[in-house]
């Protein structure tokens, strides 16, 4: 079986600063991968390179056997790679329903030979949007302006918009950051059960080791711009280098 995402010798430098180096890995379909690492370890840089937000200085990225290295983000999005952000990227002046409708209408334009001059309000996009809101448990906020939403709902809305385009690869940059500790598991549970029904390949960045252990099939541990451990959670999280360099600091906080 071919990999959905295939990365070879990926590197990124900003002047003399090395943000990523020698990243080589394959992600098979329907795997859920947790990405861990201290601040500045290169996790977000890695996601930014895959989604076209940053152009890697070396190496190649292939998505479903297609070279996407350095292509613009909207072209990569159209191929079926979607993402959410550490700070939720939503449309604050629109209602939750309008936010998701926008994502659904744009997605409909890309598929089925749609045009940017097609009608915005169509029964099928409205139905798609309503279903997506149900899936992420945010249907009761339907008419609320996005600017007024609590942090956890904003994150869910951001992820719901990323999923509205029916991507095959989804990258979540810290889906639970900014969400209170009590809500974290509930938010993650909602996201993961919503995603499971879509049978997506998911990469998510997370600081909380308990969440990673619970939801990931596989863990990538980043340190100093590269992957220092790669394996099933039990194995990767027990790795002595991971213990001393990553979970030693972050894990202590989550067990406190």
Partner 1 sequence: MPPWLVSLATIAFANALVVLGLLILWRTGLVPFGQALFYAIGAYVVALIGRFTPVRDVFLVVLAGAACAGVVAYLIGFLLARYREIFFAMLSLAMSMTLYGVLVKTEALGSTDGFHVEAGTFFGARPQGQALNLAMFWLVLGFCAVSALGVTLFFGTVAGRLAAPARDNEIRLEFLGVSVDRLIHLELVIAGTLAGVGGALAALVVAHVDPSMAYWTTSGGFVFVTILAGAGSVAGAFVGSFVFELVRSVAVDVLPDTWQMTLGIALLLTILFLPEGLSSLFRRLRRAPEAKA
Nearest to 29 by CA among 165, 168, 162, 166: 168
The residue (of 88 and 194) whose beta carbon lies closer to partner 1 is 88
**Calpha distance 49→162 (Å, rounded):** 17
Q: Which two tokens stand for residue 23?
A: 């990243």
Give the residue, chosen from 7, 107, 188, 216, that forms a contact with partner 1 under the rule CB under 8 A: 107
Which C-beta is closer to partner 1: that of 128 or that of 158? 158
Which residue of 62, 110, 126, 214 would you call a contact of partner 1, by CB under 8 A? 110
- With binding defined as CB under 8 A, does residue 233 bind partner 1? no
Which pair of structure tokens corresponds to residue 134?
């149900």
Q: Rounded CA gap, 20 and 156, in Å?
A: 29
121/182 with CB nearer partner 1: 121
Nearest in space to 185 (alpha carbons), one of 210, 167, 148: 210
Q: Is 168 in the site for partner 1 (CB under 8 A)?
A: no
By the 10 Å C-beta count (0-12 exposed, 13-18 middle, 19+ buried), 60 is classed as: middle
Cα separation of the two ends of the chain:
42
Nearest residue to 152 (alpha-carbon basis) of 136, 128, 169, 170: 136
Examine residue 66 and tell whether it contacts partner 1 (CB under 8 A): no
Least distance CB 246 / partner 1 (angstroms): 28
188 binds partner 1 (CB under 8 A): no
Interaction residues for partner 1, span 26-55 (CB under 8 A) = 51
Candidates 1, 17, 116, 256; binder of partner 1 (CB under 8 A) is 116
Q: Is residue 121 at the binding interface for partner 1, with CB under 8 A as the rule?
A: yes
- Provide the minimum distance between the beta carbon of 223 and partner 1 in the complex, in angstroms, as a whole number: 27
d(CA 51, CA 159): 15
180 makes contact with partner 1 (CB under 8 A): no
Number of residues that bind partner 1 (CB under 8 A): 36
The least CB distance from residue 70 to partner 1, in Å, is 16
Contact of 53 with 8, CB cutoff 8 Å: no
103 in contact with partner 1 (CB under 8 A): yes
Residue selected from 8, 78, 126, 198 as contacting partner 1 according to rule CB under 8 A: 78
Work out the number of other CB atoms within 10 angstroms of the CB of residue 33: 21
Q: 79-98: which residues touch partner 1 (CB under 8 A)? A: 82-83, 85, 89-94
The CA distances from residue 22 to 61, 163, 179, in Å, are: 12, 30, 33
Contacting positions for partner 1 (CB under 8 A)? 51, 73-75, 77-78, 82-83, 85, 89-94, 102-103, 105-110, 114-121, 158, 161-162, 164-165
């Amino acid at each position: 079986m071919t990999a959905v995402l295939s990365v070879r010798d990926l590197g990124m430098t900003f002047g003399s600063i090395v943000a990523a180096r020698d990243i080589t890995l394959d992600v098979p379909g329907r795997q859920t991968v947790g990405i861990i690492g201290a601040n500045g370890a290169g996790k977000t840089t890695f996601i930014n390179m895959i989604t076209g937000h940053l152009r890697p200085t070396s190496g190649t990225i292939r998505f479903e056997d297609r070279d996407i290295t350095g292509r613009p983000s909207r072209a990569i999005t159209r191929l079926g790679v979607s993402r959410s952000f550490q700070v939720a990227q939503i449309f604050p002046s629109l209602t939750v329903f309008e936010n998701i409708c926008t994502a659904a209408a744009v997605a409909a334009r890309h598929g089925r030979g749609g045009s940017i001059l097609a009608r915005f309000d169509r029964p099928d996009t409205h139905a798609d949007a309503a279903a997506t809101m149900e899936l992420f448990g945010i249907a009761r906020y339907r008419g609320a302006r996005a600017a007024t939403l609590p942090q956890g709902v904003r994150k869910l809305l951001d992820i719901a918009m990323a999923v509205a385009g029916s991507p095959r690869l989804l990258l979540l940059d810290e889906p639970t950051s900014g969400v209170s500790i009590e809500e974290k598991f509930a938010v993650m549970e909602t996201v993961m059960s919503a995603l499971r029904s879509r049978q997506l390949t998911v990469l998510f960045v997370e600081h909380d080791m308990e969440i990673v252990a619970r939801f990931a099939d596989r863990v990538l541990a980043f340190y100093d711009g590269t992957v220092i451990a790669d394996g099933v959670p039990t194995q990767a999280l027990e790795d002595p280098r991971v213990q001393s360099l990553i979970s030693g600091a972050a894990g202590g906080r989550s067990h406190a």
